[in-house]
Amino acid sequence: MTALTGGFADPAIQSAQGFRVLMQAMARPGTIHDLALAVPPAPLGRAAGTVALLLADPTTPLHLAQGHDAIRDWLAFHAGCPLVGPDRAALALGRWDDLLPLDRFAIGLPDYPDRSATLIVALDRLEAQGARLTGPGIRDQVSLSLPDIAPFRANRALFPMGLDFILTCGDRIACLPRSTVVEDA
């Protein structure tokens, strides 16, 4: 029964609301936003589940790093997305440690940098403190708690190729596109 519940009650309205929040977060990297329109099965947080429903569809291959049957069934019912290995994923969903190593995911091609993966990362902590972020969409600088700085710095070095990250914790999200410069606090 869990797979059938917890999706968008009003898909047209909630999708529009969710996309607005997600685009604001992507346009302003490192800023934290509330996004809890879906109620996925545990242990998936509401923000991560909402983002998955916003971005996944039958034409978007998703890698589910956490192999929970309830989450797999929920995504199959509500998003209909094909589940694939990390090397074929346009989206990946999971906890930071489960998504490592990051070099398993597509970073795009020089002529097609958009052929890269977006990682929806479930974190235990998401706060406006820690690593210093600068770059497009950021006035001066912002701070964000990151699980590790080195992978994000290495990702930035690949620009215009690289991965985009949607960091989640409970009901909150923050985005870290590949154009963001990450430095120690």
pLDDT digits (tens, 9 = 90+) for 104-146: 999 999 999 999 999 999 999 999 999 999 999 999 999 999 9
Query: Mean pLDDT per segment of 10 residues, for the chain of length 185 residues?
Result: 81 95 98 96 95 97 88 93 96 97 97 97 97 97 97 97 98 98 94
**Looking at the 3D structure of the chain, how many domains does it have?**
1
Give residue 45's pLDDT.
95
Domain that holds residue 50: 2-175
Residue 96 domain-assigned?
A: yes
> 103 lies in a domain?
yes
48 located within any domain? yes
Domain assignment of residue 163, yes or no: yes
Q: Is residue 180 part of a domain?
A: no
Q: How many CB atoms lie within 10 A of CB 100?
A: 14
pLDDT, residue 179, reads 97
Cβ-based neighbours of 4, under 8 Å, separated by 6 or more? 77
Task: Give the Cα separation of 72 and 42 in Å (integer).
Answer: 11
Q: What is the pTM assigned to this prediction?
A: 0.96
End-to-end Cα spacing for the chain: 46
Instruction: Write the DSSP assignment of 108-128 as a string of letters.
Output: --SS-TTSB-EEEEE-S---S
Distance CA 103, CA 107 (A): 8
How do strand 118-122 and strand 91-95 relate by DSSP bridges?
parallel
Structural domain contains residue 56: yes
Instruction: Give the residue among 147, 143, 140, 180 at the shortest CA–CA distance from 164.
Output: 180
